[in-house]
Structure formats: structure tokens, C-alpha cells
Structure 1
Amino acid sequence: MEFVGDGDLLVLQKNGHVRLVRDGQLLADPVLVVETTPVREMGLLGIAKSGGAVYIYYTVPDADGNPLSNRIERYSWNGQSLVDPTILMELPANTYHNGGAMATGPDGQVYAVIGDTGKYGPLQNKGPESIHPPGTTDYLDTSVILRVDPPGPYYAVGVRNSFGLAFDPVTGTMWDTENGDDDSDEINMVPDGFNSGWEAVMGPATEEGLARMAGYEGYEYRDPEFTWHRPVAPTGIGFADFGAGEYDGSVFVGDCNHGRLYMFKMNQERDGFVFASPGLQDGVADEGDSLEEIVVAEGLGCVTNIRTGPDGYLYITSYSHDTVYRILPASAEQAQQPAEHTPGDPGVQPEEGGGCLIATAAYGTELAPQVQMLREIRDGKLLPTESGSAFMSAFNEIYYSFSPAVADLERESPALRAAVRGIIAPMLYSLSLMDLADGSELQTILLGTATIMLNVAMYAGAPAAAVLGVRGMVRGRPAKRVAVAAERGPA
């Protein structure tokens, strides 16, 4: 999202729609629609403004919906719509790790981040020897923070994937969030010429990691300012000007895995954080460390973006709640208010009950392809129809009565997470039947019924048949032994 004009708010939808919130009301018609493919980590991903120009970052699909490129375009805002598009950059793309976060520096320079796009290019601390042979792509525009407008040298390299960029309003220094692999999500201060360390290092560097790092001229590594050892999928990052000293000048970060908003108090030099909790003073949230000091809000769903509004308050978008939240200090007179929704618009309806809690915990993030598939079936195939919507309402009544407790147990047990992934794998495969639905009530009912029956057969019928078979074998064995004994006769 991005503020334009006199408090107008442009909000991105993953399906390629740019929506306008004016005076707290979401207007019915998009101000821009671009063709994209809103699945996995593709879609309309980033927005920024500089002066009267607005910049967007989105995935361009081919005829089959596969990613062709990540494109950055510049538009003019005329107060009602985005006009006069100019293509600025065509970047590599994949179904995941496309980055897309954008920000504008104090000097008006526009920046964007792109992840590794699942490809191992030379700017992931691989060194020149990893550049692909002539005639093939060398992925030079992956794992970097780009100077978009005006263009220039890479601002940073070695970025695995990021969903958050912001500038400290006091020092003008860039900060980002970065998603780790199996561990070590990060918050980084990002000076010009920063090497974030991927793929040699995630989290605080070891001597071995430093030895593996490529020596890019003009780029220097530094450890992250904060690391979560267990992934939380940090996303948006921002600074607030509440007018309340307890919060002003702090860094705020959202996450996707737990729906939390974190607050980090800056040190006097504003190049790191200060913590009262002994467990966090090393800048790492290890297993068992209390996060109470830094968690200031929960229940926000998958946070995707944080911006500071003209009023100094924080505005947060939630992907899984389809909501824009305004965050105020408790001392403020106004209550926290979400932006208004347009009734009947399936793209912005509040979610019924929340996210896919069990699958999210099993796969570690709402951005996992399996979780994305569940959301796409729910939002694209079921909720737009009366029968599908009725089914989801009944399903949610049951599902959310037990799923939060199961998800909590999963987060505490890697073995349980692995078991759940194995258990739900057949169900995920069977749900591909719903891709055949064309949006009609009849097809939704027929395919939905077939999918339910298939799952009943897999999860109830097959185990029941196995139990009956075993019981039959057990019952048959004594009779066979008696018959053999009778044939033998007395000894």
C-alpha cells in the first residue's frame, strides 16, 4: 500500500487490482488492473511513490499462467486513477522468492528488492565462477536491492528474499526484513554497498560462513541487527510517529506465520536495538527465549506491509484477513479501525474464521505453496458461489473449534509437523479436482461432493477396510488350527 494525494491510500490486491481507500472507505472500482498470476508468491507485489509518480512491481505471466518476468512500471496519479504507464525494468521471475517490496528514500530515489527466485546466481555469494555460460541467463538481477528510478548500481546484494523495506526518518538509513531458509529470519540495517550474506550466511556469521563469502568490491557484510532462530516469516517494516515517546523512533515489523506486530527500541546511535530481556540481548531469539518484550500486537493474520500514514500512525495490511489496520498507541482517543470493505467484492471480503492454521503450522508459513493452494481454492472456487460459501461457513464452525490447539502443538513439535504433512498430503492432492470448477453452482456442488467422497474413502474407508481385513484374519486362524489338529488325530 502507499499513501498518495491528501491522505488517499492505494492498496494492492494480489490479483492485479490497485484499490483506492478514500476517507476510510474502499471505493468499488479499481484505479488500475494489471494482468498477473496471483498464485504462490506471484502477483501484484509492491508499490512506492516519489513525487507525483507511482511505481508498481508485479509478476508477468505467460498464456498458461507461468511466470515470465517481474516487471516494474511507473505511472502518474491524477487523483482518480493511475495513468501513463512506463516499463522501467524486466526482472527474472519464479513461483517463489520474487521479493517485490519497494520503498522511497529521503532523496526521492525509488528502491525495490528481488529475492533469489529459486535460482543460484553469482550475487548470492557464489563468486564469478558461478556465472552461467554465455547464451544462458546469469541471474544478475536476483538477490539484490535495486535502484529503480533513477537506475544505478545495486544498493545491496546477497539477499535471499525480502518482503519489507523502509527508511529511518531520523537517519535516512534503509532497513529490511529477510526470510531465512529453515532458520534465521533477519532484520537488517542496510547501508549502501551492503552484502546480506546469502547463500553463505543467514543469521550471525560463523567463521566458516565468512570464509565462504564472495568478496564483491564495494560491498561489505555485517551481521543482522536481530535474528529469529525459528522462522516467523517477517514481512513489512516501518517507523511510527505516534507523538507518544514510548513508541516513537522504534522499528515495527510484522510477520506472516503468527500474525504478530513486533516493536524494537533503537539504541542511541540508531544502528541497533536495545533489550531489557537477557535472552534477547545477543540480538537472537533462540528457542525458549521470551518474546513478550517485543510483541505488541497479535491476531493480525499474515501481515504483508507496513506504512506510516500522514497522521503518523502505522497502517498494516493483512493478507489472510483482507483488511487494512490502523495501529494507534493506547493513549490515542481513536480506536483502532480497519478500512471499510466493499460488500460483495470477493477480492476484499473479510476472511471467515481466519487462515489455514493446521497447514500453515505444518509447512511453517502461509506463503508455502500448499497453503497458498488451499487459500486459492477457498477464495477462487468456493466463496464466490452460494453452495461453496455455505459449506465454508459450516466447515469453519467445526474447524476453528480445534485447529488453534493443533497448530500450537505443531509449532512445538517438529515430529508432529512432519506427521501432519504426511497425513494431509493425499487431501491436498485430491483438492486439485476443484481446479476444474468453472464457477457455476452445479460444478461446485458436483466437484465438491466428489472431493468429499474421495477424502472419506481415503481417510475413513481405507482404514476401516484394513481393520476389517485384520479382524477377519484373526478370526480365521483358530478355526484353521482346530482343523489341522483334527486331521492329525491323537498322538
Structure 2
Amino acid sequence: MRKHPIVLGAAALLLAACSSSSPSDEGAPHTPAPLASKTGAGAPGAPRTLVTGLSVPWAVAFLPGGDALVTERDTARLLRVTPAGQKTIIGKVPDVDPQGEGGLLGVAVSPAYARDHLIYLYYTASGDNRVVKAAYDGRLGAARPIVTGIPKGGNHNGGRLAFGPDGMLYVTTGETGEPGKAPDRKSLGGKILRVTPEGAPAPGNPFGSRVWTYGHRNVQGIAWDDRARLFATEFGQDRFDEINHIEKGRNYGWPTVEGVGRREGLTDPLLTWTTDEASPSGLAYAGGSLWAAALQGRRLWQIPLDNGRPGRPIARFHDSYGRLRAAVRAPDGSLWITTSNRDGRADPSKDDDRILTIPLR
């Protein structure tokens, strides 16, 4: 797919081969030369609070029937939430060692759950980050590690899990504040991994290992569009956060480049923001748009897509709910968004943290 990078910043917007203008927030256009048609550009409906009183809900994954599994990073609790907002504490996941940005992070449900009743969790243990699988049928069974040795640190632990359209499990990892891990294909840090449901390197991986792509700083969101194209959010350092189109075997530039570098052998992002506008975490695809939950940006970014090409990003709900962490498409087509106001970087309200549901029109 041809790249058309968009750079959003406090003073400039750059579109490849297009003119530029100053960006702003919701209600004002970011560019006079959008790359996409109106496909997927419809405004979402009003958010509704589904659940309150959570503590850093980090990830959401849906079971058959519509209930969701929700992880809490710092408490290591696994919850079950119904579409009506009923909350059940399944239990505390053993061996989780929450520190800094580490803890109980990603969750995924087996594509064959009706048959195997398996779920997958990504968490920080005493010596590493790891992926485990466990039986769940109302009660959580013993967890069995399937990927171990992912570097851990006080920050940049990655942590997102999702099964792709190909039935393989995708795992995002961070470089734990050590940039040299990102381009090192022998390290599991700063990567997107692609593994079988048993944790082995997936067939067709580019390097004969678990590594699918490399050169990442800290990927915390992945989503596929309706053509099975994979997109990912990535935290920048001082200048630019990113959305990337993820393609097999590519190097996404960190630490050589932050944002668009136009360097041979490195893949530029589709879209960047300044770090105060985004710090993008969870990512969903629904209704023809990507939806990126922004932590420091305290908003939900809508990015319309037209055949995989990004259009003008639109900021939704800026400063309405604080820091936003997870973004997931629910079985009914709505979005579930979690807040992250109890992570030590915000002033939580009495209802925080919460899960919001947002209808798409």
C-alpha cells in the first residue's frame, strides 16, 4: 500500500504531495486536502457510562454471547462485564508483578472458544513479560505460559493481545526504555510478535522466529480493517506519536527515526500527532474508521479510512472523560472505551475508572 503520511502538530500539518494548514481540535478541520472520502467519517453517538469504580482497566475482549473480559493493570484482577453493565470479579491472576506501566495488561479470547474455552493474558511477572493461556468457563483455570522472556521495565511494556483474521495471536511489546532492543531482531522487545495459539512462531513469519515487525518503541493498540489490513498505535518520545500500517517483516524506525523520516529501509507512519495531542493506546476499527484512545491527549481520535488510506483525523470527546486507554469494537457494533484516570497521571473523579459505550451511527 502506498504511504501517505500525515503529520499533525502544534504549528503544521504535512500531507505527502499536499498543501498544509494548522491543526486544531474537534470542530475545526485539520487539513484542507483530506486524503480520504467521506467513508467512515460519521460522528459517533453520545457515550454512556456502563461501569464505574474500576482501577486502570487496561484491556477488553469479548466472549461469545456479548459479555466482556476486562483486565485491571495494577490490581491484577480479571473482571467479567455484561452489556447491561453487571460486573463480576473473576479473580486475581497469580504471579502478576505490577510495577510502573507493567501489570496485568492484554487479554484475548480464543477464536475457537466455543470448543476450547481458552483465554490468553499478557502480564508482567517477576522476571519478564509473558503470555499465558488458561481455561475459562465461569472459573479461571491454571495459567500455562506460551511466550516468556519478553523484556520488562518500569515503562514501555507493550501488552496488547489480539487474534488476527488468520487465526494467529499478535502480541505487542515495548523496548522498556532501552532503544537498542527495538531494531535487534533477536530481542522480543520493541516488536509485534505473531505466534500460533500454542505460542510457537507462526507459519510464514519473516525471520523464522516469533517476530513479525520490529523497530517499535511501544505499541499498545492493534486493529484490522475489513480488508484484513493491520494498523497499530505507537508512543513516540518527545515529538511524534504514530499510527502505522503493519506489514510483514518491516522495520518501523525506532530509535533511528521518530515520526516520518523518509529513510531507505525504514517504514514511515501513516499518521503522526504531537505527543500532547495523543499518546495513543487502544485501537479499534469500526464503521469505516480507526478509533484511537488517547491518554495524554484525553480524547478519542477518529481516523476515517478509504481503502486503507487515512483521512482527516477528528478529535472526539476532548477533556470529557480524561485519559482514555482501551478501544474495542463490541459485538453489537458499538465501541467500548476505558478510562485510565487512576494510573497516577490524572485527577480521578469519584466514578473513575469507568467503561464507556459509544454507539456508531
TM-score (norm 2): 0.71
Superposed displacement of residue 229, structure 1: 2.9
Specify the alignment match of 1:75 in structure 2. Answer: 134
Alpha-carbon distance in 2 for matches of 1:102, 1:148 = 11
Specify the alignment match of 2:339 in structure 1. Answer: 318
Task: Give the 5 Å matches for 1:90-239.
Answer: 90=148, 91-121=150-180, 124-125=182-183, 140-150=187-197, 151-152=200-201, 153=209, 154-168=211-225, 170-206=226-262, 210=263, 221-231=266-276, 232-239=278-285
- The percentage of aligned residue pairs carrying the same residue is 30
Alpha-carbon distance in 1 for matches of 2:125, 2:182 = 24
Which runs of 4 or more aligned residues in structure 1 lie more than 2 Å from their structure 2 counterparts after TM superposition? 22-39, 123-126, 148-151, 229-232
Q: Which has the larger radius of gyration?
A: 1
Alpha-carbon distance in 2 for matches of 1:47, 1:166 = 14
Specify the alignment match of 2:147 in structure 1. Answer: 89
Specify the alignment match of 2:4 in structure 1. Answer: none
In structure 1, list runs of 5 or more residues that go unmatched. 62-67, 129-138, 212-219, 241-247, 276-292, 332-491
By percentage of residues, which structure has more helix? 1
Specify the alignment match of 2:13 in structure 1. Answer: none
Contact 1:125 1:200 in 2 (8 A): no
Superposed displacement of residue 319, structure 1: 1.6
Task: Give the 5 Å matches for 1:320-339.
Answer: 320=341, 321-329=352-360
The answer to whether the aligner puts 1:10 opposite 2:75 as a matched pair is: no
- Does the C-alpha gap of structure 1 residues 31 and 230 become closer, same or farther in structure 2, counting only changes over 3 Å? closer
Contact 1:307 1:316 in 2 (8 A): yes
- Does the C-alpha gap of structure 1 residues 43 and 296 become closer, same or farther in structure 2, counting only changes over 3 Å? same
Superposed displacement of residue 148, structure 1: 3.0
Amino acid at match of 2:324: V
By percentage of residues, which structure has more strand? 2
Alpha-carbon distance in 2 for matches of 1:185, 1:263 = 15
Contact 2:81 2:87 in 1 (8 A): yes
Q: 1:58 aligns with which of 111, 115, 123?
A: 123
Alpha-carbon distance in 1 for matches of 2:274, 2:340 = 24
Task: Give the 5 Å matches for 1:75-474.
Answer: 75-78=134-137, 80-90=138-148, 91-121=150-180, 124-125=182-183, 140-150=187-197, 151-152=200-201, 153=209, 154-168=211-225, 170-206=226-262, 210=263, 221-231=266-276, 232-240=278-286, 248-267=287-306, 269-270=307-308, 272-275=309-312, 294-298=314-318, 299-320=320-341, 321-329=352-360
SS at match of 2:259: coil
Superposed displacement of residue 196, structure 1: 0.9
Alpha-carbon distance in 2 for matches of 1:115, 1:188 = 15
- Does the C-alpha gap of structure 1 residues 23 and 249 become closer, same or farther in structure 2, counting only changes over 3 Å? closer
Superposed displacement of residue 38, structure 1: 2.9
The answer to whether the aligner puts 1:49 opposite 2:96 as a matched pair is: no
In structure 2, list runs of 5 or more residues that go unmatched. 1-59, 202-208, 342-351
Larger relative contact order (Cα-Cα within 8 Å, sequence gap ≥ 6): 2
TM-score (norm 1): 0.53
